Amino acid sequence: MTARIENLRLALEDLREELRTTGYRRAMLREVASFYGLHPDLLARKFVEQNGAQLERFVAPAVTEEFEEAAAQADAEREARAWSGSADCAVIAYMARAIRALKGI
């Protein structure tokens, strides 16, 4: 792998990490490109090719996964609260007590 390709790979990784941790800043592209000796237009073009989004619109996968996990947890908690007062919950609790009684637990 040539040094230029390796620099491009590292620059793309750094750019993604910067976006994930600090969000988009106008000078970010120029700073990262300069550090790795790349032209900002090349870095921006390769970023879009690799990630399918402009820098300004990029949402890091880790952020998306964290949001989805939090949303799923909130949905589960809402559902649990809804079940706790429902008739179905009372039936399940009654059946569980009946099974324990039959087993002698």
| Residues 30-77 pLDDT 10s | 999 999 999 999 999 999 999 888 888 876 655 556 666 777 777 777
Q: Can you give the pTM of this predicted structure?
A: 0.55
Determine the structural domain holding residue 67 and report its residue range.
Answer: 62-103
Q: Domain tally for the chain? A: 2
Do residues 12 and 38 share a domain? yes
47 Cβ partners below 8 Å, 6+ apart? Answer: 12, 15, 55, 58
Cα-Cα-Cα-Cα dihedral sign, residues 20, 47, 42, 10: positive
Q: What is the pLDDT of residues 80-103, one digit of tens each?
A: 766 665 556 666 777 777 777 777
Residue 55 to residue 49: CA distance in whole angstroms: 11
Q: Which of 3, 8, 28 is nearest to 18 (CA)?
A: 28
Same domain, 55 and 67: no
Last residue of a domain, one of 59, 76, 95: 59
- How far is 14 from 24, CA to CA, in rounded Å? 13
